[in-house]
Homo-oligomer: A and B are copies of this chain.
């Protein structure tokens, strides 16, 4: 049980809070994956990669509570749980994907900028 509410969940305007959920490390990736189709828990875990079970659970619960993700637990043995975007979640995910797509397209520019920045700083330290 959570004995301490995380800092991010207190004393912040609710709007920023939801924004943090959407833009959290794993939130972004979950939303983008679910934009394609439904996923089962472990399927999503494998698709995303490095995410731990705990973090995926936490992320999905947060997104479910915010009404962005629908959790469909089928009462079968072995258990089967499917996660899907709600209509609200689909809208959010499309915004998130917009950002992700932009980033992907512009990576080259960013890397060029970094080289220039690092080289400029290199010259700085040599001059000292």
Contact = CB atoms under 8 A, between A and B. Distances in A.
Interface in A75-127: 88, 91-92, 95-96, 98-100, 102-104, 106-107, 109-114, 116-118
A2 interface: no
B65 A117 contact: yes
A15 to B, nearest CB: 5
A64 B14 contact: no
A40 interface: no
Given A15-B107, A92-B106, 11 more contacts: A18-B110, A19-B99, A19-B100, A22-B103, A23-B28, A23-B99, A66-B110, A66-B113, A67-B109, A67-B114, A92-B102
